[in-house]
Copies of this chain bind each other. A is one copy, B any other.
Amino acid sequence: MRTTKQKQAIETVFLNSDRPLSVEEVTERARETAPSINTATVYRNLKTLVDSGILTKICSGQAGTLYEPNHSGHHHHFHCRTCGKTFDLPGCPLSVQPKLPEGFTADSHELFYYGICAECARVGVDQRVYPE
């Protein structure tokens, strides 16, 4: 595995982010360091990083597909309907062994909250739907 400017740019993007990012966000931010970086390269690197356990891919109906570092432990997410950003929530409100129908066994779960984040509530731009 070779050290390229593109690969380093992508890793830096995640080091400098405190929330999960979309492919588009990753590409935009990576271009600040590696201006020529191509979408295909971003996808290829994200896939490699997920396969090697460095990143995790998360997905919800409203938040879409996002990537985040895998080191943060078990936690869940909050998607703001106003600014469209997704945030990490510390901890997990669920018991390890949920009540499931007879014979069903769960080994993992994914939980998304939807609502308004602190920043959007403060600014009061209720009418705004998604960034800028």
Interface status of A61 (Cβ within 8 A of chain B) = yes
Shortest CB distance A39–B (Å):
20
Shortest CB distance A17–B (Å):
17
Main secondary structure of the interface of A (DSSP, over half): strand
Q: In the complex this chain forms, how many copies of it are found?
A: 2
Digitize A37-61: 1 where CB-to-B-CB distance is under 8 Å, 0 elsewhere: 0000000000000000000011111
Given contacts A59-B60, A61-B59, contact A105 B110 (CB under 8 A): no
- Cα separation A60 to B107 with both chains bound (whole Å): 16
Shortest CB distance A20–B (Å):
12
Interface status of A118 (Cβ within 8 A of chain B) = yes
Q: Please indicate the chain B residues that have their CB under 8 angstroms from the CB of A121 in the complex.
A: 103-105
- Cα separation A94 to B93 with both chains bound (whole Å): 7
Q: Using a CB–CB distance below 8 Å, which chain A residues touch chain B? A: 57-61, 65, 78, 87, 89, 91, 93-95, 98-119, 121-122
> Pick the contact of A114 from B109, B116, B119 — CB < 8 Å?
B109
Q: Please indicate the chain B residues that have their CB under 8 angstroms from the CB of A106 in the complex.
A: 78, 113-115
Shortest CB distance A47–B (Å):
14
